[in-house]
């Protein structure tokens, strides 16, 4: 309850903030409700900066608190061992010899953090905390400059306390970094588009390249920019004949589109993959955002109606990647939706600003004799409605947590505790068999065998070096069936098997039966099982 009251206090400080206002409210919610004589004299510019600083501070605290407590999960450990390879070899090459070029910017940032702070969960996740906090500031800037100060504050508030945003700002993966540079590129693109400033163009190029080096989803920017350029010219000029000077941005977009088509075969992969996850993803959106999702839809409409140039860019930037993810990305995962979430929050903020304007006339009539409520009644009503909705929604939190649900296909198993147990009880020559090889490499520095299973439904071969039986991350030999497992455990004097619940239920039944019947269970956490054998006693 105290957390909610604290945020309500923050909210009332925001409620009077509006572009061009000279005074804003500065007392608590209960003084507003019970006394109706709130006075505010603080300079609006100073107040604006104070609110933003407060949201940034709280957002940073929520993202960094207990950052190193939770174990790395599988995907985080991939990025982490790639970063360790950078420190050891100068390039992200796994023990298998595979060059890990995916999200290479993220890999080098984690490597830098490891270099400064040492290899740990905290250091691996710190770059995401940095970009997550900057995203709060970025949506404030976009909301303020493309709308008004109130929209900026609402958007920053939503990002700061969003469970989705906080959770992925605490992962040693590339998704928060992708989100930041994707949104920043949109902002810089519009700035360049309207000013034709060389400096804006250079910043745009840097941001665009950083987006591409963060994730392949960044290539959707090319399609967004290209379609926006075409739609802008035909809507704005209402003509077919365009001068060479006017064509220049289209030529640039066309070159980028060609690069997009041929780079890494991305376009062929998209076209060649046909799925339909629309209902599943919409269900997740409804589940994770609740009623806020429904506010985003009219918010996007209002954005286009008020300023179609900015609104159209934001709508395209949300719809195009969502279409690709819904219908042309094979693996189903909530995290793929993540990088467009701030756009939805901006739409929600635009809708809330519209609602305030819609209610203001009626409130002015009702409270015509109460100066404070006449001026700020609509602000307070909508803000309290927003904060109350946030407080009862699972999409937002006012209390920092140690662990957050990452959604589908992101099992957060406690490898840290399991491998600490192994490390405290193993001998140097012990054999390590794991269902997830990258965590073993990070926590133990070695892994000998991969207890192979169909990880993402595309077959275990997709996780092995082509033409071999070695896994791509640690060069471990794949154990593909129970006979191979039996041979390994009989031919080695002592060893360990580490498997989490996700992998356990994907293993063949006969493999599970063999382990349970012939290998001694040494420990069990809520998510990981540790087995060991010692043939010298048999």
Query: How far, CA to CA in Å, does 325 sit from each of 274, 290, 330, 347?
Result: 10, 20, 8, 20
Residue 370 contacts residue 164 (beta carbons within 8 Å): no
Q: How many Å apart are CA 239 and CA 230, to the nearest integer?
A: 11
- pLDDT at 35 exceeding the cut of 50: no
Out of 96-100, 237-241, 331-335, 532-536, pick the least confident: 237-241
- pLDDT in the model for residue 30: 36
Looking up tokens 């020559």 gives 429
State phi, psi for 210 to the nearest 5 degrees. Answer: -60, -35
- pLDDT in the model for residue 251: 64
DSSP β-ladder status, 520-524 and 528-534: antiparallel
Out of 250-264, 463-477, 484-498, pick the least confident: 250-264
Strands of the sheet containing 449-451, edge to edge, are: 477-479, 449-451, 431-434, 494-500, 528-534, 520-524
Q: How many Å apart are CA 222 and CA 233, to the nearest integer?
A: 17
With 0.75 as the threshold, say if the pTM is over it: yes
Residue 313 contacts residue 228 (beta carbons within 8 Å): yes
- pLDDT in the model for residue 254: 63
Q: How many Å apart are CA 135 and CA 159, to the nearest integer?
A: 8
Residue 519 contacts residue 454 (beta carbons within 8 Å): no
Residue 126 pLDDT level (bands cut at 50, 70, 90): very high
Round the average pLDDT of the chain to a whole number and report it.
Answer: 85
Percent of the chain surpassing pLDDT 70: 82
Residue 383 pLDDT level (bands cut at 50, 70, 90): confident
- pLDDT at 264 exceeding the cut of 60: no
Q: How many Å apart are CA 291 and CA 289, to the nearest integer?
A: 6
Give the single-character DSSP code of 494.
E
Vertex 165 angle, CA 159 and 171, to 5°: 150
- pLDDT in the model for residue 28: 38
- pLDDT at 122 exceeding the cut of 60: yes
Number of H helices, E strands in the chain: 23, 6
- pLDDT in the model for residue 494: 95
Q: Which of 36-40, 51-55, 90-94 has the highest mean pLDDT?
A: 90-94
Residue 433 contacts residue 492 (beta carbons within 8 Å): no
- pLDDT at 33 exceeding the cut of 60: no
- pLDDT in the model for residue 158: 96
- pLDDT in the model for residue 196: 84
Region of 195 (left: φ > 0; alpha: ψ -120 to 50; beta: rest) is: alpha
Residue 330 contacts residue 275 (beta carbons within 8 Å): yes
Out of 3-12, 358-367, 456-465, 482-491, pick the least confident: 3-12
Render pLDDT for 169-214 as a digit per residue (tens, 0 to 9): 999 999 999 999 999 999 999 999 888 888 889 999 999 999 999 9
- pLDDT at 430 exceeding the cut of 50: yes
Task: Calculate Rg over the CA atoms of the chain.
Answer: 26
Continuous H helices in 393-446: 415-425, 437-444
Q: In 3-state terms, what secondary structure has residue 339?
A: helix
- pLDDT in the model for residue 42: 38
- pLDDT at 473 exceeding the cut of 80: yes
Residue 400 contacts residue 66 (beta carbons within 8 Å): yes
> Please, is 19 exposed, middle or buried when counting C-beta atoms within 10 Å of its C-beta (0-12, 13-18, 19+)?
middle
Out of 292-301, 363-372, 384-393, 500-509, pick the least confident: 363-372
Q: Which residues pair with 258 in a beta bridge?
A: none
């Amino acid at each position: 309850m105290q957390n909610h009251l604290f945020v309500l206090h923050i909210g009332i400080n925001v409620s009077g903030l509006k572009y061009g206002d000279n005074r804003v409210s500065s007392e608590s919610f209960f003084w507003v409700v019970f006394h109706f004589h709130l006075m505010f004299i603080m300079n609006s510019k100073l107040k604006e900066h104070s609110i933003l600083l407060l949201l940034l501070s709280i957002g940073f605290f929520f993202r960094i608190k207990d950052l190193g407590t939770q174990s790395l999960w599988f995907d985080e450990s991939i990025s982490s061992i790639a970063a360790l390879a950078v420190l050891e070899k100068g390039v992200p090459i796994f023990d298998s010899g595979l060059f890990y070029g995916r999200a290479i910017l993220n890999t080098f940032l984690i490597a830098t953090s490891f270099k400064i702070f040492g290899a740990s969960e905290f250091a691996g996740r710190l770059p995401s905390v940095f970009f997550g906090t900057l995203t709060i500031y970025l949506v404030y800037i976009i909301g303020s400059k493309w709308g008004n100060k109130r929209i900026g504050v609402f958007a920053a508030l939503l990002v700061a306390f969003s469970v989705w945003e906080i959770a992925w700002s605490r992962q040693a993966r590339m998704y928060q970094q992708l989100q930041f540079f994707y949104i920043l590129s949109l902002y810089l693109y519009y700035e360049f588009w309207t000013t034709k400033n060389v400096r804006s163009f250079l910043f745009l190029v840097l941001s665009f390249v950083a987006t591409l080096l963060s994730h392949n989803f960044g290539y959707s920017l090319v399609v967004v920019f290209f379609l926006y350029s075409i739609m802008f010219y035909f809507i704005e000029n209402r003509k077919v004949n365009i001068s060479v000077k006017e064509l220049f941005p289209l030529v640039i977009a066309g070159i980028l589109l060609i690069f997009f088509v041929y780079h890494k075969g991305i376009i062929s992969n998209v076209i060649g993959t046909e799925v339909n996850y629309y209902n599943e993803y919409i269900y997740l959106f409804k589940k994770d955002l609740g009623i806020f999702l429904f506010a985003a839809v009219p918010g996007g409409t209002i954005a286009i109606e008020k300023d179609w140039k900015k609104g159209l860019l934001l709508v395209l930037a949300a719809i195009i990647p969502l279409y690709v993810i819904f219908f042309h990305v094979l693996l189903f995962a909530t995290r793929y939706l993540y990088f467009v979430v701030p756009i939805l929050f901006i739409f929600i903020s635009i809708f809330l600003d519209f609602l305030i304007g819609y209610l203001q006339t009626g409130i002015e009539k009702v409270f015509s004799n109460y100066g404070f409520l006449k001026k700020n009644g609509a602000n307070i009503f909508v803000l309290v409605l927003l904060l109350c909705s946030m407080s009862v929604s699972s999409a937002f939190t006012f209390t920092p947590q140690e662990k957050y649900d990452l959604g589908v296909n992101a099992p957060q198993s406690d490898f840290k505790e399991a491998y600490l147990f192994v490390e405290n009880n193993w001998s140097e020559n012990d054999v390590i068999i794991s269902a997830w090889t990258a965590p073993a490499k990070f926590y133990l520095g070695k892994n000998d065998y991969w207890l192979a299973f169909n990880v993402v439904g595309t077959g275990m071969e997709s996780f092995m070096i082509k033409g071999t039986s070695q896994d791509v991350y640690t060069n471990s030999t794949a154990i593909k069936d129970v006979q191979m497992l039996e041979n390994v455990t009989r031919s080695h004097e002592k060893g360990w098997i580490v498997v989490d619940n996700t992998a356990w239920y994907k293993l063949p039944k006969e493999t599970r039966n063999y382990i349970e019947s012939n290998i001694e269970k040494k420990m069990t956490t809520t998510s990981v099982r540790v087995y060991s054998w010692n043939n010298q006693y048999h």
